A = this chain, B = another copy of it.
Amino acid sequence: MALERGAQPFARSEYEARWTALKATMSQRGLQTVLTTDGSSMTYLSGYIGSSGYLPQMVILDAAWTEPKLVLRKQDVPLGIYTTQISRDNIIGYPETLVGNPERNGHDFVLDMLEDTGAHTGLLGLEEGVLSRAVYRKYESRLGAGTLADISGLILSQRLVKSDAEIALMRDAARIADAGVLAAISATRPGRRECEIGGDVIHALASGLPDIDTITIKVPNISSGPRIGTAHFNWYLGTVENGMQLNFEIVGLCHHYSASIMRTISLGPPSEKLRRLHDGVHEGLEAGLSTVRPGVTCADVANAYHRALNRHGFSKDSRCGYSIGMGLEPSASLQPTDMTVLEPNMTFHMMLGTWVEEDFGVTLSESFRVTETGAEVFGKSERKLFVV
């Protein structure tokens, strides 16, 4: 039987607006066609959410087409039909014989298709920052270097300012993240293993709220004990004990749109040193957030943070945050060198993981959007050092 389209987060009009905006940029840049293999840009342009990104899969938009083509391995076509607004005719499955095939893969299939559709005759935009050298060479050797243009960052730039529909999902994502924070607070007890605490938090992140079904999660980051100065891993071996500190980075997801929140939890009374650093980071967060409004730069927000933190005798040498949407979006950073001017509905994670020594740091953060007059912080979790 034929599968029908399932429930989806956006109406087709949301995607039509994205295609129209992209075509306007293509026209300015003299591009006939653009092709992206970046997972979140594919989701942005089609709604597709499949996880076969280690294999060739892509969204292609030509100036002459009314909608993009979504190219997937054949096995993934039903998911394309179910989860996207792309017409069945424009969801193209390449044969499964091209999977695990050292000679030919999905990109060879796409190159055949581009020739068939005439989409190769003008300038084709590819993301040189995403496509591997090996894949890029397939396009270069078949189409000629002169027909290719680098569009790295082009779709990301378009994603920098969110629609109201995207903002609504990020607010829901923040409610999921807040549920994760509550789970972290009740899970953190002496004698529990980090993996058990991680399990409780992801259970909350997955299980949804009465009015929100999740469709996936982001695994949280938890550091503790001697490794409290480390970042960017989920959790580790061992048991937490009284006197320890745990740093959490929790991401709520709603239809792949994200809101991140970081909090530190102290098991028992915090040390004076921890209290002092947290006070500095907290004041910096307030200073940064109160700087946010249209017309100021990312640098202004970061500088407000650094000034406040420095007044407390600490410093942070890494950026204070980054654009978010479907997770971290490498388009704009809250850092002193980033002159991106804030506009309404830009969204950021003001990420104040402040690791000041190899074995010492705290985490505190908020996700927010730029409003007409300031910042709307998405999360509602108490902004403090939690003590359990």
A contact residues vs B (CB 8 Å cutoff):
1-4, 6-7, 49-52, 54, 73-79, 81-83, 95-97, 99-101, 128-137, 150, 152, 193-196, 198-200, 202-208, 213-217, 219, 221, 226-227, 229-238, 317-319, 322, 328, 330, 333, 335, 337-338, 353, 355, 357-360
Contacts and interface: CB of A to CB of B under 8 A. Distances in A.
Contacts of A215: 195, 233-237
Contacts of A236: 6, 82-83, 213, 215
A199 B203 contact: yes
A103 to B, nearest CB: 9
A96 to B, nearest CB: 4
Contacts of A214: 195, 198, 235
What 9 pairs across the A-B complex have the smallest Cβ distances?
A100-B333, A199-B206, A199-B207, A133-B136, A216-B234, A96-B318, A79-B230, A203-B203, A128-B133
Contacts of A328: 54
A129 B333 CA distance: 29
A100 B338 contact: yes
B50 A232 contact: yes
Contacts of A81: 358
A388 to B, nearest CB: 19
A310 to B, nearest CB: 16
Nearest to A75: B318
Q: How many copies does the complex hold?
A: 2
A231 B221 CA distance: 27
Contact of A76 (B231, B330, B335): B231
Contact of A213 (B82, B194, B219, B227): B194
Contacts of A135: 129
A238 B213 contact: yes
Contact of A6 (B3, B129, B237): B237
B195 A206 contact: yes
Given A7-B237, A198-B207, A213-B238, 18 more contacts: A1-B359, A3-B229, A52-B232, A77-B358, A79-B232, A81-B358, A83-B233, A99-B318, A134-B152, A195-B213, A195-B215, A196-B208, A198-B214, A199-B208, A202-B206, A203-B203, A215-B234, A216-B234
A78 B208 contact: no
A250 B207 CA distance: 17
A212 to B, nearest CB: 9
A213 B193 contact: yes
Contacts of A82: 226-227, 230, 236
Listed residue (A2, A3, A49, A128) with the most chain B CB atoms within 10 angstroms of its CB: A3
Contacts of A355: 75, 78
Contact of A130 (B132, B198, B216, B217): B132
Contacts of A335: 100
B337 A101 contact: yes
Contacts of A83: 233, 236
A246 to B, nearest CB: 15
Contacts of A137: 128
Nearest to A227: B82
A343 to B, nearest CB: 19
